[in-house]
């Protein structure tokens, strides 16, 4: 068996620790070719689509990619920003803020980086870079609060596949889920209350989670149960009666039965039943993305209003909310206990020298201009 090239090892080097915040991924651009590359990688994952490989290869390459890539590119273009893909931008900012929050808790020697399961920066690429930097301890923090084999399980696969090619494997820790973590639930509560304070309360709060095939539930995937627990805990924090909120599942793909009730038909039925105002929250998405900004804020709004609904408000994802970053820091801290997480005196001095040099360079550049 051959291994990937190892970075030069220096005896006596200081052990380093890292937290990798991993999100699903995004195309590099809202173009047909970029979306096709992304979809091919995403939909080729056997964790995502559990269909016999040969049959699925024909369906994917002959039916889905040629026809869906262009339509998906148009949808991505509708939510793209000057900074790039919203999901990538928010995840980058979350990683930066998480590093600062851990530093404030005394873990200033921990590297915090973000990676994507599909697309760039790829998880193997990020793990290889950390190894080159001498990280001997790595904690994997998925951006998904609820565990599913299709998401978190796939991250595990990618991590294990990468390190199967590495001779010097670092110590690894994994965050499996945080669907009931108090910091996460409190952040969701704060987001809803802030929205209600600014806009008033609706007749119904809809909590829409990403869907998965019902078959996964029957085979033992805990995702459905964890979504319902998140919703129940959030409703309790908001002091909502059962009739004041509803849990739904979105993003259904294909003809198989998925987790129900489905989001779009539920919104239409609510409107037909005389519910004139709804607020919709996507607790399972920690960063706004195509599924929240286009599928919910645009398409779901249209579905509700076309069926007779009057007021539809989408409540943004947690993104960079301070309460959420604080919750992530608590979760990360629980998984790096016992690791060397503080900078040494030499590292602090080097950091101060680097910062001083950067400031001096910036001053010189300003003087020249």
pLDDT in the model for residue 5: 73
pLDDT in the model for residue 203: 97
- Return the percentage of the chain with pLDDT > 70, whole number: 90
Which pTM value belongs to this model? Answer: 0.92
Q: Which residues pair with 43 in a beta bridge?
A: none
Reported as a pLDDT band with limits 50, 70 and 90, residue 4 is confident
CB 108 within 8 A of CB 343: yes
Same fold, 16-179+322-347 and 182-315: yes
Q: What is the largest CA-CA distance in the chain?
A: 71
Question: Can you say which residues are annotated as belonging to the binding site?
Answer: 210, 291
Q: Which residues pair with 16 in a beta bridge?
A: 135
- What CATH number should be reported for the domain whose range is 182-315? 3.40.50.1400
pLDDT in tens, 31-52: 999 999 999 999 999 999 999 9
Nearest to 284 by CA among 147, 172, 159: 147
CB 114 within 8 A of CB 91: yes
**From CA 31, how far away is CA 21, in angstroms rounded?**
26
pLDDT in tens, 312-367: 999 999 999 999 999 999 999 999 999 999 876 556 555 555 445 555 655 564 55
pLDDT in the model for residue 14: 66
Question: Can you say which residues are annotated as belonging to the binding site for Fe(2+)?
Answer: 210, 291
3-state class of 192 per DSSP? helix
3-state class of 207 per DSSP? strand
Tokens 């294909």 sit on residue: 254
pLDDT in the model for residue 355: 47
pLDDT in the model for residue 364: 64
- Class of CATH domain 16-179+322-347: alpha beta
Q: Which residues, in sequence order, are CB contacts of 77 under 8 Å at separation 6+?
A: 30
pLDDT in tens, 143-191: 999 999 999 999 999 999 999 999 999 999 999 999 999 999 999 999 9
Look over the chain and give the mean of its residue pLDDT values, rounded to a whole number. 93
Write down the domain spans for the chain.
Answer: 16-179+322-347, 182-315
pLDDT in the model for residue 255: 84
If phi > 0 it is left, if psi is from -120 to 50 it is alpha, else beta; for residue 96 that is alpha
Average pLDDT over every residue of 67-80: 97
Q: Which residues, in sequence order, are CB contacts of 260 under 8 Å at separation 6+?
A: 214, 249
Average pLDDT over every residue of 207-236: 97
Q: Is the peptide bond before 261 cis (omega within 30 degrees of 0)?
A: yes
Q: What is the DSSP string of 12-51?
A: TPPPEEEEEEEEEE--SSSSHHHHHHHHHHHHT-TTT--S
Average pLDDT over every residue of 111-122: 98
The tokens of 238 are what? 């908001």
The tokens of 316 are what? 């943004």
């Amino acid at each position: 068996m051959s291994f990937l090239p190892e970075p030069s090892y220096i005896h006596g080097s200081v052990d380093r620790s890292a937290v990798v915040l991993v999100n699903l991924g995004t195309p590099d651009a809202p173009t047909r070719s970029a979306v096709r590359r992304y979809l091919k990688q995403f939909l080729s994952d056997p964790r995502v689509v559990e269909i016999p490989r040969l049959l699925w290869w024909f369906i994917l390459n002959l039916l889905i990619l040629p026809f869906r890539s262009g339509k998906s590119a148009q949808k991505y273009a509708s939510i793209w920003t000057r900074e790039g893909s919203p999901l990538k931008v928010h995840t980058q900012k979350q990683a930066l803020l998480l590093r600062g929050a851990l530093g404030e808790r005394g873990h200033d020697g921990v590297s915090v980086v973000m990676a994507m399961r599909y697309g760039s920066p790829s998880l193997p690429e990020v793990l290889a870079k950390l190894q080159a930097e001498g990280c001997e301890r790595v904690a994997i923090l998925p951006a998904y609060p609820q565990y599913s084999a299709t998401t978190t399980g796939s991250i595990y696969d990618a991590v294990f596949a990468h390190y199967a090619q590495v001779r010097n494997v670092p110590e690894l820790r994994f965050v499996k889920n945080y669907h009931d973590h108090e910091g996460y639930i409190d952040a969701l509560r704060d987001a809803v209350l802030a929205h209600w304070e600014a806009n008033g309360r609706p007749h119904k709060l809809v909590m829409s989670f990403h869907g998965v095939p019902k078959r996964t539930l029957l085979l033992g995937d805990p995702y459905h149960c964890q979504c319902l627990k998140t919703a129940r805990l959030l409703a309790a924090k908001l002091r909502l009666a059962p009739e004041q909120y509803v849990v739904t599942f979105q993003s259904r793909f294909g003809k198989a039965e998925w987790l129900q009730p489905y989001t779009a038909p539920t919104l239409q039925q609510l409107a037909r039943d005389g519910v004139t105002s709804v607020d919709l929250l996507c607790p399972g998405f920690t960063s706004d993305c195509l599924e929240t900004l286009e599928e919910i804020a645009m398409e779901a709004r249209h579905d509700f209003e076309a069926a007779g609904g009057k007021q539809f408000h989408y409540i943004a994802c947690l993104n960079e909310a301070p309460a959420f970053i604080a919750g992530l820091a608590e979760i990360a801290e629980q998984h790096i206990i016992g690791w060397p997480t503080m900078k040494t005196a030499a590292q602090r001095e080097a950091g101060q020298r680097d910062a001083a040099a950067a400031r001096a360079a910036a001053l010189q550049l300003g003087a020249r201009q």
